[in-house]
């Protein structure tokens, strides 16, 4: 492990950033809100596990099994330290944010949400923080309400007050950072309001945890979910954190191996936390790869990452706003947003823009970004989106601007 | 500046698309969409004596989708149903020089062929209603599902 990683030379750690695409164009990867690339340290950790330590965890007594269990469990400790979590048993490894939120909906939700209850979410949620609640609401005859988004891309938090006043709200589920607009949610204010009203809070941290310092002890929410693959880690791994007093009241999600204490013909008792919620063989190698990603990010420092993205976003917003025919969505103040910029060209479909930009080797996203409710609010079918991470540079932004100018030229904007 | 997809011809065809609009009491009205990219069109036709006497389309699509839809409607307006039934993807794409999408762009080919898919499904529904022996209609349905 390196003792320091410089952002100037960081690209050398990412093998994929050295390949070319589309007839020899160097790859410029700007779809980090979707998934991030992996440094060699993460790839090596996974390879090392399969080459040297592979065995199932928590069961056998032989050497390999002990090594595998030790590596897997030490990943849990790394997650705890990374997010300032006191109780490691509050950390459940899942497949990703989506599974984390579904776990809460199926276990806590099914047990505690009743007919007439209200679940509040926001207009800028990813589908993964909407659809599980719709399924639950349908089953229980409960209701979903949305905190609206203003023209600036920020939440209209007054609306939360009126929902809370009904006395029927059981849960407020919201993302800490919008995956489309990059807006950073005023998380503390929402949690404070909910605490006063005795309402549980669930935070989708998929976009925030990779890009800024998150302290769960300070936040004091009830549920928190995020994914490894958006923070240099492997796909197929995520974390659901649930405050212990809440987790202790929850029934199991999946039944199977590893989550039991004793199984009898007609009755079974559950394993301790968090294993009660980790049925079956997990993605062991990927959890270990995830720990390597956390090490990597920790060595750089989350504040360094945040500052890098603030300056890159500021630079990009300034340059992009000068491109002919462009509309940029979201808050102007870079301190209130992450490194995510959604935009459209007047009259040009986002897929046309993404295709033209891709021809220069630049990967950007076009579509509804799993946020169709926000698309409706913005009154667009789709947007283009660029999203930055630690390996992106001002040169990447310059290349993007050049290709966006080509779009304006081709379409005579 | 030359571009393999975004030629002046395609951009103009999309910007000044032909036959955009809606028909009153259409004999055929077929909606279809590509959920991943948001192309979303409705194709409407009047049929008189086995001839497509009028055709209009409306919806929201990218440049490729709009240009191809525009070309398709021009190709089949005034033609008989048999011609429309047999229209294939190569004929549409070659009108705009987009044949390379078939091998080079599995994503964008869907934009180009959405209107052809809507046409085939629309004709299928129409013919299935008209004819007792719908074997010829089933060919259309199979054709549509095999486009991409």
Is B40's CB within 8 Å of A381's CB? yes
pLDDT > 90? residue B89: yes
Q: Angle at the Cα of A380 (from A377 to A386), degrees rounded to 5?
A: 100
pLDDT > 60? residue A403: yes
Whole-number average pLDDT of chain A: 96
Residue tagged 């974390």 (tokens): A239
User: What is the model's pLDDT at position A404?
Assistant: 98
User: pLDDT (tens digit, 9 = 90+) per residue, A53-93?
Assistant: 999 999 889 999 999 999 999 999 999 999 999 999 999 99
Asked if B5 reaches chain A (Cβ–Cβ under 8 Å), the answer is yes
Domain A45-298 belongs to what topology?
3.40.640
User: What is the model's pLDDT at position A1?
Assistant: 44
Is B108's CB within 8 Å of A366's CB? no
Nearest-by-Cβ selection for B36 from A356, A367, A406: A367
Mean pLDDT of A153-166: 97
Of A243, A248, A210, nearest to A224 (Cα)? A243
Enumerate the residues of chain A whose CB falls inside 8 A of the CB of residue B64: 351-352
Asked if A127 reaches chain B (Cβ–Cβ under 8 Å), the answer is no
Asked if A355 reaches chain B (Cβ–Cβ under 8 Å), the answer is yes
Whole-prediction pTM value?
0.91
Q: Identify the active-site residue in A279, A370, A380, A413.
A: A370
B 6-25 → A contacts, CB under 8 A: 6, 11, 15
Residues A268/A83, Cβ–Cβ less than 8 Å: no
Q: How far apart are alpha carbons B62 and A36 in whole angstroms?
A: 27
Lowest-pLDDT range, A102-111, A305-314, A375-384? A375-384
User: What is the model's pLDDT at position A128?
Assistant: 97
List the single residue in B with minimal CA-CA distance to A367. B37
Domains and CATH numbers, chain B: 8-146 (3.90.1010.10)
Domain A10-30+302-410 has CATH 1.10.287.610: no
Enumerate the residues of chain B whose CB falls inside 8 A of the CB of residue A412: 11
User: pLDDT (tens digit, 9 = 90+) per residue, A166-186?
Assistant: 999 999 999 999 999 999 999
Is residue A370 flagged as an active site residue? Answer: yes
User: pLDDT (tens digit, 9 = 90+) per residue, A321-378?
Assistant: 999 999 999 999 999 999 999 999 988 999 999 999 999 999 999 988 999 999 999 9
Asked if B37 reaches chain A (Cβ–Cβ under 8 Å), the answer is yes
Min CA distance, A378 vs chain B (Å)? 15
Q: Angle at the Cα of A249 (from A243 to A255), degrees rounded to 5?
A: 105
List the strands of the sheet with A143-147, edge to edge.
Answer: A91-94, A238-242, A223-227, A200-204, A169-175, A118-122, A143-147
Annotated domain spans of chain A: 10-30+302-410, 45-298
Asked if A406 reaches chain B (Cβ–Cβ under 8 Å), the answer is yes
User: pLDDT (tens digit, 9 = 90+) per residue, A258-293?
Assistant: 899 999 999 999 999 999 999 999 999 999 999 999
């Amino acid at each position: 492990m390196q003792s320091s990683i410089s952002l100037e030379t960081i690209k050398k750690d990412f093998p994929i950033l050295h390949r070319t695409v589309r007839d020899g164009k160097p790859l410029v990867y700007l779809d980090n809100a979707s998934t991030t690339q992996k440094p060699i340290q993460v790839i090596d950790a996974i390879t090392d596990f399969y080459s040297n330590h592979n065995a199932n965890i928590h069961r056998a007594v032989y050497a390999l099994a002990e090594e595998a269990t030790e590596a897997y469990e030490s990943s849990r400790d790394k997650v705890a330290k990374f997010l300032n979590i006191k109780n490691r048993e509050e950390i459940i490894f899942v497949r990703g944010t989506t599974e984390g939120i579904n776990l809460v909906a199926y276990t806590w939700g099914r047990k505690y949400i009743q007919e007439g209850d209200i679940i509040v979410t926001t207009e800028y949620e990813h589908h993964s923080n909407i659809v599980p609640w719709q399924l639950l609401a349908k089953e229980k005859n409960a209701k979903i309400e949305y905190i609206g988004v203003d023209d600036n891309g920020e939440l209209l938090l007054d609306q939360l007050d009126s929902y809370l006043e009904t006395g029927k709200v059981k849960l407020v589920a919201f993302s800490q950072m919008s995956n489309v607009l990059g807006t950073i949610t005023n998380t503390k204010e929402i949690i404070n309001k909910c605490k006063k009203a005795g309402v549980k809070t669930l935070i989708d941290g998929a976009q925030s945890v990779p890009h800024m310092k998150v302290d769960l002890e300070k936040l004091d929410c009830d549920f928190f979910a995020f994914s490894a693959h958006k923070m240099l880690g492997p796909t197929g791994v995520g974390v659901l954190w649930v405050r212990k007093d809440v987790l202790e009241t929850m029934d199991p999600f999946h039944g199977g191996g590893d989550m039991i204490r004793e199984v009898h013909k007609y009755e079974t008792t559950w394993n301790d936390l968090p294993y009660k919620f980790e049925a079956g063989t997990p993605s062991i190698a990927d959890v270990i790869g995830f720990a390597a990603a956390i090490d990597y990010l920790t060595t750089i420092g989350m504040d360094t990452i945040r500052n890098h993205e603030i300056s890159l976003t500021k630079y990009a917003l300034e340059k992009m706003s000068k491109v002919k025919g462009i509309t940029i969505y979201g808050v102007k103040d870079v301190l209130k947003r992450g490194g995510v910029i959604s935009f459209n060209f007047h009259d040009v479909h986002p897929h046309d823009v993404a295709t033209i930009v891709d021809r220069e080797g630049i990967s950007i996203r076009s579509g509804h970004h799993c946020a169709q409710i926000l698309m409706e609010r913005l009154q667009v079918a789709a947007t283009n989106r660029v999203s930055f991470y630690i390996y992106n540079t001002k040169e990447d932004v310059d290349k993007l601007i050049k290709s966006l100018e080509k779009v304006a030229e081709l379409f005579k904007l | 500046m030359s571009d393999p997809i975004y030629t002046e011809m395609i951009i103009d065809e999309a910007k000044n698309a032909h036959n955009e609009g809606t028909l009153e009491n259409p004999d055929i009205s077929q909606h279809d969409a590509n959920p991943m990219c948001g192309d979303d069109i409705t194709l409407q036709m009047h049929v008189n004596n086995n001839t497509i006497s009028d055709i209009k389309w409306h919806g929201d699509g990218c440049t490729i989708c709009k240009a191809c839809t525009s070309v398709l409607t021009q190709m089949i307006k005034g033609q008989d149903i048999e011609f429309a039934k047999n229209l294939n993807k190569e004929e549409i794409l070659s009108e705009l020089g987009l044949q390379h999408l078939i091998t080079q762009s599995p994503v964008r080919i869907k934009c180009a062929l959405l209107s052809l898919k809507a046409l085939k499904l629309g004709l299928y529904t129409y013919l299935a209603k008209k004819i007792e022996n719908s074997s010829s209609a089933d060919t259309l349905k199979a054709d549509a599902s095999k486009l991409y």
